[in-house]
Structure 1
Amino acid sequence: MYFVSVAEERSFTRAAERLRVVQSGVSAAVRGLERELGVQLFERTSQRVVLTDAGTALLPAARATIDAAQAARDAVDEVRGGLRGTLRIGTLTSVGFVDLPGLLGQFHAEHPHVDLRLRTATSGSAGLADALLDGELDVAFLSLSGHPPAGLSTRTLVAEPIVAVLPASHPLTERESVSLADLADEPFVDSPLGYGNRTEVDRGFAAAGLQRRVALEVADIATVPQYVGNGLGVALIPRFAVRPGPELALRPVLGTRLSWTFDVATAAARRPSAAVRALLRLVDAHRRS
């Protein structure tokens, strides 16, 4: 567990804080493991801690061992009537389809001995998916375009149509609807690569044999319409992210089926812990329409 904590935190200090032990204990445990295996697991400098090739190779097996031990503890805890352990949750920003504070509040009230860890996406849904597959997260609320990546189990909570958002003065507002071909030559305001809505729109243009230019990348989808309203481009984003105003015009997109989904996901290769299963049972009660 010490090795995995250092690998995930990229720091002996943060790993010790996470494990609630002294740093010297973490360092000694990792050195002991390195002596036992006969390899160096981390490259250590005064500024960073990085896995070696041997450490990278060991990490999946180490996580699998921890998962197996957690499953055994879960079985005992369920018999004793109380869950324990740590639940690591990832989520997107600016997406309110699940009342996450309410969800976690209820979970904490029912399972006070489970340590909750919440991570907000810094590289979109792709980053959350990778964290699930790498074992850094136990469950994530994210947006996936098309078929989910191999290795993930997902359930769609919400599906939203993607609409065209135009400045009110744009010539295309004279039409009742637009096509991807109509928009292909326009500068776009969009999310960075790795975000679910960006992936879905890129997929749509590729399927139509069209190219487009993303002029501005904005991580917070809720602010995209503000850039459009100030004449900096057009956008294709889910309907929920747009608050109508006099500076904007919304149009349906014809000739393609673009949609944004909000999903809850776990890693298919790992049996969900009792804590994950308990959280998933509460999700529907905290969904917002």
Structure 2
Amino acid sequence: MELRQLECFVAVADEANFTRAAARLHIVQSAVSSTIKSLERELGTPLLDRNSKRVLLTDAGAALLPRARATLHAAQEAADAVAEVRGGLRGTLRLGTMTSVRLLDLPALLGEFHRRHPGVVLQTSAVPSGSQGLVDALLERRLDLAFVSVPGPCPAGVTLTDLTSSVLDLVVPAGHPLAGRHSVSITELTGLDFVDSPVGYGNRTVADRAFAAASVPRRVAVEITDVGTGVDFVRHGLGVALLPRFALRETADIATLTVSDADLDWPLSLAVPSEYRPGAAARAMIAMAREFVT
């Protein structure tokens, strides 16, 4: 087996589509197909089921996939070790981000990383299913590293490097009965309509855990994927919201209160798969991210 064969196989398995796999590898689709066929001939068994609407793994393909990922990771580690000796990092770093990462200046961080390590290609992507989707992508080895918000126990299979956090404050319209107060108890929020992120987003998990701990029911009336728009939903009367302080801005038609008796700390961390030691580029990104939040 050749590394290129395994790379093509993993790409098709991840994308469940030959066209998308070819685009990811920057080669033509026919080259992907012929490479997979040569691997199947060498192993003497089909690895992919091409008869369905989506390309699916056969039992043999499912058995090969984790070993193919491990082989590619080991090869990348070997290349990283040589690059470090030669004085420069090389390769590709697949970095996942949340749709809103304003607790640190991500463009500045990535720009500085590129200046220090121009030989590393950064592939960044935001997963629409929030931090849980990013963790899933790490476990499936579709990402090398991801900025996530994972309150509570660390998920199995990943290692977290804590970076920083933000408190979630209650935001209400200016005419709301609570608008004249500075703080509120979580028990006083029963029956209110909330604007919040979908399940799987870190800030939603923080809020859900706080309400569950207080045995207070909560109704989410509007779901948004960008916390930066939360203030606008509140000021237009669509509900109240628990928003991180970095997303708040001065405006006359909202009021902000602290929730005095709830744990509403929203953490930001970098996550890597626990099964493998992070590559040199991932380790460099973790170290630089720490610089940006200290």
* 1:204 CA displacement: 1.1
- Residue 21 of structure 2 corresponds to which residue in structure 1? 15
Kindly indicate whether the alpha-carbon contact (under 8 Å) linking 1:100 and 1:286 is maintained by their aligned counterparts in 2: no
What secondary structure is seen at the aligned counterpart in 2 of 1:131? helix
Structure 2 residue corresponding to 1:104, chosen from 100, 110, 115: 110
Counterpart check, 1:275 vs 2:281 = yes
- Residue 49 of structure 2 corresponds to which residue in structure 1? 43
172-181 vs 125-134, which moves further: 172-181
Structure 2 residue corresponding to 1:200, chosen from 179, 199, 206: 206
State the number of aligned residues.
288
Task: Check 1:45–1:221 CA distance in 2 against 1; reply closer, same or farther (3 A cut).
Answer: farther
* 1:38 CA displacement: 4.5
Task: Check 1:39–1:199 CA distance in 2 against 1; reply closer, same or farther (3 A cut).
Answer: farther
- Residue 255 of structure 2 corresponds to which residue in structure 1? 249
* 1:41 CA displacement: 2.8
- Residue 212 of structure 1 corresponds to which residue in structure 2? 218
Task: Check 1:173–1:106 CA distance in 2 against 1; reply closer, same or farther (3 A cut).
Answer: closer
What secondary structure is seen at the aligned counterpart in 2 of 1:158? strand
TM-score (norm 2): 0.90
Kindly indicate whether the alpha-carbon contact (under 8 Å) linking 1:133 and 1:151 is maintained by their aligned counterparts in 2: yes
Structure 1 residues 95-120: Cα deviation after superposition (integer angstroms, max 9, x where no partner): 22333222222322333332221101
Task: Check 1:140–1:169 CA distance in 2 against 1; reply closer, same or farther (3 A cut).
Answer: same
Structure 1 residues 174-203: Cα deviation after superposition (integer angstroms, max 9, x where no partner): 433212221121111100111001011111
* 1:24 CA displacement: 2.2
Structure 1 residue corresponding to 2:93, chosen from 76, 82, 87: 87
**Runs of at least 5 residues in structure 2 that lack an aligned partner in the other structure:** 1-6
Measure the CA separation in 2 of the matches of 1:14 and 1:197.
32
Kindly indicate whether the alpha-carbon contact (under 8 Å) linking 2:99 and 2:130 is maintained by their aligned counterparts in 1: no
Measure the CA separation in 2 of the matches of 1:250 and 1:57.
53
Paired-residue identity, % = 53
Kindly indicate whether the alpha-carbon contact (under 8 Å) linking 2:103 and 2:165 is maintained by their aligned counterparts in 1: no
* 1:172 CA displacement: 1.9
TM-score (norm 1): 0.91
Summarize the alignment of residues 1-289 of structure 1 with structure 2, pairs less than 5 Å apart.
Answer: 1-44=7-50, 48-287=54-293
What secondary structure is seen at the aligned counterpart in 1 of 2:102? coil
**Runs of at least 5 residues in structure 1 that lack an aligned partner in the other structure:** none
Q: Aligned Cα RMSD in Å?
A: 2.1
* 1:222 CA displacement: 0.8
Task: Check 1:237–1:23 CA distance in 2 against 1; reply closer, same or farther (3 A cut).
Answer: same
* 1:68 CA displacement: 1.1
Measure the CA separation in 1 of the matches of 2:221 and 2:71.
46
